[in-house]
Amino acid sequence: MTQKSQKNKNVTRLRVIPLGGLDEIGKNMTVLEYGDDMVLIDAGIMFPDVELPGVDLVLPDYTYVLKRRDKLRGIVITHGHEDHTGALPYLLRDLGVTVPVLGTKLTLGLIGVKLEEFKLGKQKLREVRPGMHVSLGVFGFDFIQTNHSIPDSVALLVRTPVGNILHTGDFKFDQTPVDGRVTDYAALAKAGKDGVLLLMSDSTGAENQGYTRAEANVGATLRRVIASAPQRVIVASFSSHIHRVQEVCDAAVADGRKVVVTGRSMINNTKIARELGYLHIEEADILDAYDAGSLPPEKVVILSTGSQGEPLSALARMANGDHRTVQIQPGDTVIISASPVPGNEKAVSRVINRLFKAGAEVVHKGVADVHVSGHAAAEELKLMLQMVKPRYFMPIHGETRHLYAHTHLAQAVGMHTDDIFVLENGACLEIDEDRARIAEHVEAGVVYVDGLSVGDVGDVVLRHRQQLSSDGVATIVIAIDGQTGQLVGDVELVTLGMVLGTDTDEMVAEAKARIIKVLTRTQREGVTDHSVVQKAVRESLSQYIWERVRRRPMIVPIILEV
């Protein structure tokens, strides 16, 4: 072996390992490892789509981190969105050791609530501010102020033994931000001047041409829509989009309306943001939904969760007519101030259709300027590349098409193809002072959270088999009139693998009666959407069987339209 070969064999390389966030939108998590030191950037979740029935959350598989917990010097969070923070309680619980968690003030405030829910006890939450420098083992972190759709977002300049890495986090270049916090362009330019070995940059908006519109545009539209609304206004948005919440509050107060908050996460996040000074509205102008019943409808704006059509969200419950405190009335205006996350388009469309049927006027991104992205578009991404001028480039945070679109932008500004690395989750990028290369693939993947069960669900088929083996299956066959939603003929109930006791006939008859009662209600309300009818039947029958025999069988409603 030559002296040069021996030297290359013994050199310590920086390892960059994404465990989530690539080929997808969500569960962002990246490992940086050098010798005996390791840090983690972000720990997010992803919400399941329709192909994962029964799954509540999707976590990145962080087994690689658990096996090397003795090397973990800290976890750094770029901002407070759940696709960057949601896996943190699970990770901290599984680690079994206390490690520093670094984040800005609002980010830690949102994290703290989640950790309390998990009863994890005291954790090392370490607040950082833009401009600060923090050392974690051999890694040094400089925090750079950026703009995103949540306050207190930061980019990370990571100083490593082989060179500097710039991790942008989620960002856009907004010149008129709602909170006045503009991106620290000087810090980014200085990082580029000092030398950036690797740029890891947000790719979500890489397919969008030009520049992302300013958040202030949405504020102007919200003020106009709210001021012209004849009755109540209901605004559905992400609960963590504090800038948007502030704009809704400002528009409501300007029109002489009170703000009513509903939805668990919206209530929690607005409370935290107000306590920490990120949301500004007088105490007298913001109310709980239970206290707003006596107000005239033209004096109310309701802030709600449910912009993604989630079945149990506040807006979906309003659309279905089963919200505890808010019922949609003819003349109400509903503003959906968000874009559907890929995979949620059908769910959002169903909610919009139900709202229209209930008599509401629905305003969404397709008809008005009520939402702008929090992610940089193509020209902003090229500007980032030009300011930083990295030696190597790795697009992050996006589906495969976004990563490759970002690759083309890097090539357009002069980067060589050999210096651009499009990775997949679990791939390891090794970098030393001479070169970068893709090394071995480490253990990565997904972990499903199903109720209190974490990681026990390998896939949907396994979950169904487990449910069938323990509680059986009940199939309900229903024929309904496609125009009126009225029941046609009798209800057929077939059970397999279920123990119903000695009074089987009586129980089946009572179950059918309950189903007919539900169908009568949905028909009276004019519901013809099969998914709504199926959900109502499933919930009613599931509750009845639980009351009688304490079992949760798989319930399969089959709707035949005649």
**Domains in the chain with CATH codes:** 14-210+373-449 (3.60.15.10), 215-363 (3.40.50.10710), 464-561 (3.10.20.580)
456 a catalytic residue: no
Confidence of residue 459 (pLDDT cuts 50, 70, 90): low
**Residue 15 vs residues 38, 102, 116, 426, 430: alpha-carbon distances, Å:** 9, 21, 33, 11, 5
Task: Give the whole-angstrom CA distance, residue 129 versus residue 187.
Answer: 14
Look up 375 and say whether it is catalytic: yes
pTM here is: 0.80
Q: What is the mean pLDDT of residues 367-386?
A: 96
Q: Are strands 554-561 and 333-336 parallel, antiparallel or unpaired?
A: unpaired
Query: Could you say which of 81, 148, 375, 406 is catalytic?
Result: 375
Q: How far is CA 395 from CA 16, 205, 212, 319, in A?
A: 13, 11, 18, 39
Q: Band the pLDDT of 469: cuts 50, 70, 90.
A: very low
Higher pLDDT, 310 or 306: 306
User: Does residue 549 register a pLDDT over 50?
Assistant: yes
| pLDDT for res 2 | 46
- Mean of pLDDT values over 414-431: 97
- Mean pLDDT computed over 513-525: 82
- Extended strands (E) in 271-378: 286-288, 300-304, 333-336, 361-363
DSSP state of 53: T
In which residue are the tokens 């989750």 written?
425
- Alpha-carbon 457 to chain mean position: 21
Could you tell me if residue 464 is left (phi over 0), alpha (psi between -120 and 50 degrees) or otherwise beta?
A: alpha
Which of 45, 37, 121, 103 minimizes the C-alpha distance to 71? 37
Quick one: residue 515, left, alpha or beta (phi over 0 = left, psi -120 to 50 = alpha)?
A: alpha
C-alpha to C-alpha distance for 235 and 333, rounded to whole angstroms: 8
Q: How many whole angstroms separate alpha carbon 75 and alpha carbon 88?
A: 9
Locate 234 and state its tokens.
């209901």
Write b or e for each residue in 513-548: b if 16 or more Cβ atoms lie within 10 A of its Cβ, otherwise e. Answer: ebbeebbeebbebebbbbebbbbbbbebbbebbeee
In the sheet that holds 453-454, the strands lie side by side as 57-60, 446-450, 453-454
Residue tagged 């007919």 (tokens) = 516
SS3 212: coil
In the block, tokens 């939108």 appear at: 25
Pick the catalytic residue: 142, 174, 202, 250?
A: 202
Give the pLDDT of residue 461: 47
Whole-number average pLDDT of the chain: 89
Residues 388 and 146: their CA atoms lie apart, in Å, by 14
pLDDT value of position 473: 75
Q: What is the percent of the chain where pLDDT is above 70? A: 91
Asked whether the beta carbons of 339 and 365 are under 8 A apart, the reply is yes
Examine the pLDDT at 25 and tell me if it is beyond 50.
yes
Flag whether pLDDT at 453 surpasses 50.
yes
DSSP notation for 154-166 = EEEEEEETTEEEE
pLDDT in tens, 216-246: 999 999 999 999 999 999 999 999 999 999 9
Mean pLDDT lowest among 81-85, 324-328, 541-545: 541-545
* pLDDT value, residue 288: 82
